[in-house]
Every structure is written in C-alpha cells, then in structure tokens.
Amino acid sequence: MTDYPEFAPIRRFRSNLALSPDGASVAYAANPDGPHNLYVTPVSGGPARRITDYTENSVRQVAWSPDGRSLLYTADFQGDEQFQLYLVDAAGGIPRRLTDTVDRQHVLGSTIDDFRDVAPFTPDGRSVVYAGNDRDAAVQDVLVQDLETGAVRRVESVAGTRLHAVSVSPDGRWLLTSGMHSIADTDLGLVDLHDPDAPLRVVTPHEDKRLHIAGPWTDSGFLVLHNADREFLALGWCSTATGAITDLVTPPWDVEQVAASGPVRAWTVNEDGISRLVVQRDGEPVALPELPAGVITSLAVAGDVLTFLLATGSRPTEVVALDLTTNEVRYLTSGAPSVACVEPQLVRYPTHDGREVPAWLYRPHGDGVHGVVLSIHGGPEAQERPQYNYSGLYQYLVSRGIAVLAPNVRGSTGYGKTYQRLIVHDYGGDELGDFECAVAYLRGLDWVDPARIGVWGASYGGFAALSCLSRLPSLWAAGVSIVGPSNLLTMVRSVPETWRASMAEKVGDPDTEADFLLARSPVTHADAITAPLFVIQGANDPRVVKAESDQIVAALRARGVEVRYDVYEDEGHGFTVRANEVRVMGDTAAFLVAHLGGTV
C-alpha cells in the first residue's frame, strides 16, 4: 500500500510567477528541499537556476526589473509575514535589502497572495513601488523608493483602507494604487509621480461595496476587473482622465485575471471552478490547444509567450508556458507523483434555505461502503476548486478508501457577490446549516457509511471544523483543525493591526458585540465535543495566533477528551518548509484513516 509521501508534490509554488520582459525566462518561488527559494528557468525548457539559498527565510513574491537584469522579491522569517524587500541580480549573487523595519510588512502588488503578474518598477527601472505599514502598524501606506539615492516618497493611507501599489504607467507618470476596504470592496487610485506634492486621486469612487482589480496599462488607461452593478467580475477598460469604465467582456462568471503584451491580450474565466483561457490578438480570437480542466493562476504575457501556473484535481501545480507562434504547451516543471489518482466530480446538494451548494466529490474506486471527510476551505471568501489541494491529501485518502466532499458553502467566491456576502457578520451562523446539509447529502448516498464521517479544515476551515464538532457533535467520527480560530472575540482582537478596522464589519465588533462573538465561538461550546480531535498550529502565525488553538485544546483536555496538539515552532499561517508540510499532511491523513477506516 502506497504511503502518503508518495502523493505529495516534490515542490510547492508561491502564488505568483514573473515572466521576463523578453519572454525568455520565468522566475518563481518553490520549496523542493526547505523553505521557498527563488528560481529562474528558461521558457524554452531546461533546468532551473536557484537564485537564493534561504534556510529560514521564505520568498513570497517576485518581479523582474524592466531591463531583465534584476529580480525584486519579498521574503519573511519562519512564517511571521513581516515581509522585507530584496533586490538581486537575475544571474544570482548577494541580495540587496531595500527595507529595514523588521517588524512590519512590505508587500508588492495588490495583496500578499496576489495571483496576478506583479509590476512594481517605474519604466526606467530607477524606482520601485510597494506598500508597507512601517509608519504606523495599523496603517498600510504606498511607498516609491529611488534605488540610486534610497529616497522614499510616501502616499499615506488611513486605518480601514489597506493601500497597495499596483504598477506605474508606461510613460512613468501615473502610479496606480488599490485601496482595500474589505475583501469585497476595493477602489483604484492614481498618484501623479511628476508632481512631488500630488495627492492620491481615487478614480473609482462608489457608495456600495464593489470590487475593482487593476490589470495592465493600455493607451490612456488600464484594464480593470469589476463587479459594479453586476454579480460577477467583468473585464473593462478604465480611463485615467475620467475614471469611466467601459465593459469589454461580461460572462456569467468571474473574469479572474488579465494580461497583455503589445497586440496580445489574455484572460481567464472561472466557470464553476474551472479556468477557461481566452487569448486575442488585435482583438481577434486566437485558437488555443486544449488544456486540462483545472485552475490557471498567475497569468503573464510577453510577446507571443504566455506563462501560468496550472493545476488539476489529479495533478499538482506546475509552471507552464504556451507559445502562441507554435501553439505548443510546455510544462517547465514536473512534480507529479507516480500514483493513480481520481478526477473529482462536481455535484450540488440542497441546503436549508432553498439554495444549492456546489461541491467537489472525490470517490474511491470499487464497491463497498466508505467513510468520508468533509473538507472545508479557508477564507471563508475563497473557493474550493479542482487543483490537487492540500499536497495530495485528498488523493491519498481516496487511495485508502475514504471519500472527500469539498463544498463551496455560502461565503465562497466564484458564485457571485450576493453568495459571497452571505458570510459577512455571520461566522458560525447560516453556513453551519450548509455543513449539516452536506452530511445529509452524504448519508443519502448508498456507498457512504454514516457512522464514519469526519471534518477537517485550515484557517477559516479550521474554525468551521471546530464549529461542526462543537455545535453539531453527533455527526462526526473525527475532526482536524489547522490554524483555526476557536474564539472569535479574541481572534478579532489579535489579527494583524492593518486588518482590525475591517473586522467589526466582517466578523463582529469586540467592543460592542462580545456576547455575539462568544456565542458563535467553538470554545464556548467545547463541552459538547466528543469526537477525537487533532489540532495543528504554527507558533509564528500572525493571522490566527497560537492562543486560539491553545484555548480549545485546554478546554478539551480539562474534560479528558482525546485531542492531539502539534505546534510547529518555525511556521506561521500555513507551512513554508516542505518537510513540515509533508509531515502535517501525512499526520492528518494518518489520523483520519485511523478514525474513519477504509472500505468495508
């Protein structure tokens, strides 16, 4: 019987690729033998060159300089998310550190987990643009740093608006910024770099909640994804002069990302969780080779070359290049395990208020009655998609005769802003009914053993797993929580300071709604937990601090309930070191197999 490590990818990638200006090389961060380090590989194929040699730091984001000679990147220490900026020669060498406030965040692009191509240089390569909370821990400003003199121009923000530096216009005049009020509400702004005293001008003012996500620059404007007056993200063009947005592509799904180079424009559409790639040249569609049904992220274009990360339900994420001149798809990395995998099936089940919940079902081969794991994604404003999630955990469980149901309950992205906003100020509320209905759906399948259903998740998914175990205790045979909040009151008070202004609306106000938050907290209902529980935590987690896991573990141990608690001293919110991640997923798999069994 194959052990879990055989299902684990040989490396994991950070969320953004960087395609060189000449389209010849792609840079990325990966962790084949430790934390995430920086690599460069030729688009034509061939071995990758390792640029950094970190053993405790971990690279997060990367971008090329306009001349292709340097790489700008961010890195943190043991998962603490206090990112610093570095500049290094693309051929390798000693990195030059650009920021020096060690206990603050410095980020590139729109977010620290941005899937889009990052373009943080001025066109002449002299300056870099980024965001940081170095002035005030609770406020994220935008900064423009001159690489020759070290001089910094600051564009100040205010608490409640996380300001990000997106890119600079081709003529070097306009700095495009993104102001994040919440995950569902963003504005775009412009700063005149030719005027040293020019203030930030918001170009997308609005009253209700709307998303505005900046894309590449074009003549006299830039491309933008937005959901103004519509459920899904459309692709439009925004005028720098007026801020008016002209819609270009309006499918009944989200346009997720867009990239452009000269006459070539490319974008992806999230159709029920599967990425559909569209490419145009001079406004005319380009015929493309068939791609596997999966998820495309970090789309970039240079000349006739596209690069992106591609994953499917049965194959891990890889770096892929598409040559438009030859119509050739080329995998630049290969980390697929040599094990048999199943493709997930998209299903829907009815829930308590007349809605249908989309979910991905991984069913073992063969006859017999199976245990099942309900897998709850993080976010909660994220989406479960067919992309070899959790380093092969699903596929390993299936190989051991345990099915996986991974739903997109209310609050998930990808199904319109109304569905996404159902979770706002309702953590531990109506979505708990979605989980209960998931169990009812599973119990209606003649191949599922209703006595062997487990639940697991990470981050918000960990909170949801704890909610299920404590508030629906009779449904579960076992549960796993990874970096999951157990007390909403203490959680909203301990998140990073730049997040706190938005937490009252998103989760609840700790000063005026303490009783509400405690009523929704798993720790409040810990006395009801009877199923065996496994809790995993990173000691350096700045988003869900270790005290969140400590509380639920202490409450259970005081009652003599079985709980295993593993703390990783060199990790934060997630796992940057490959050996740690393989151990975490392997231990999780072993725990679930032990309590849910295989095929009967």
Ordered per-residue pLDDT tens for the chain, 600 residues: 678 999 988 888 988 899 999 999 999 999 998 899 999 999 998 999 999 999 999 999 999 999 999 999 999 998 888 999 999 999 999 999 999 898 899 999 876 555 566 789 999 999 999 999 999 999 999 999 999 999 999 999 998 899 999 999 999 999 999 998 888 889 999 999 999 999 999 999 888 888 999 999 998 899 999 999 899 999 999 999 888 999 999 999 999 999 999 999 999 999 999 999 999 999 999 999 999 999 999 999 999 999 999 999 999 999 999 999 999 999 999 877 878 899 999 999 999 999 999 999 999 998 899 999 999 999 999 999 999 999 999 999 999 999 999 999 999 999 999 999 999 999 999 999 999 999 999 999 999 999 999 999 999 999 999 999 999 999 999 999 999 999 999 999 999 888 888 898 899 999 999 999 999 999 999 999 999 999 999 999 989 999 999 999 999 999 988 899 999 999 999 888 889 999 999 999 999 999 998 654
Cβ neighbourhood burial of 227 (10 Å; 0-12, 13-18, 19+):
buried
This prediction's pTM: 0.93
In 49-93, DSSP assigns E strands to 49-50, 57-64, 70-77, 84-89
At CB < 8 A and 24+ separation, what contacts does 168-171 make? 168/119, 168/121, 168/122, 168/123, 168/129, 168/193, 169/217, 169/222, 169/240, 170/123, 170/217, 171/123
565 DSSP β-pair partners: 535
Number of helices and strands in the chain (H, E):
9, 36
User: What are the residue ranges spanned by the domains of the chain?
Assistant: 345-596
- Taking only Cα atoms into account, the Rg of the chain, rounded to an integer number of angstroms, comes to 23
Q: Which residues of 163-195 are buried (b: 16+ CB within 10 A; e: fewer)?
A: bbbbbbbeeebbbbbbbbbbbbbbbbbbbebee
Residue 219 has a CB neighbour count (10 Å cut-off) of 7
pLDDT of the residue at 600: 47
Residue type, 330: R
Say which residues have a Cβ less than 8 Å from residue 34's Cβ, sequence separation at least 6. 54, 55, 577, 578, 579
pLDDT of the residue at 113: 55
Residue type, 64: W
> Domain 345-596: which topology?
Rossmann fold (3.40.50)
pLDDT of the residue at 539: 94
Distances (CA, A) of 404 to 237, 245, 249, 378: 41, 42, 35, 16
Quick check: 412 and 420 in contact, CB under 8 A?
yes
407 DSSP β-pair partners: 359
Ordered DSSP codes for 275-344: EEEEEEETTEE-------SSEEEEEEEETTEEEEEEEETTEEEEEEEEETTTTEEEES-----SS-----
Instruction: Name the strand (E) or helix (H) holding 349.
Output: strand 345-350
Output the 3-class SS for 501-513.
Answer: HHHHHHCCCCCCC
> Which strand ranges, in their side-by-side order, compose the sheet holding 234-239?
212-218, 221-226, 234-239, 245-249
| C-alpha to C-alpha distance for 74 and 592, rounded to whole angstroms | 36
| C-alpha to C-alpha distance for 429 and 459, rounded to whole angstroms | 17
362 DSSP β-pair partners: 404
In 433-477, DSSP assigns E strands to 448-458
Look at residue 12 and give its three-state secondary structure: coil
Ordered DSSP codes for 350-404: E-TTS-EEEEEEE--SSSS-EEEEEEE-SSSSS---SS-GGGGHHHHHHHTTEEE
- Give the rounded distance of the alpha carbon of 82 from its chain centre: 17
Q: Which two tokens stand for residue 276?
A: 């559909």
Quick check: 155 and 147 in contact, CB under 8 A?
no
pLDDT of the residue at 367: 87
pLDDT of the residue at 598: 65
| C-alpha to C-alpha distance for 168 and 156, rounded to whole angstroms | 17
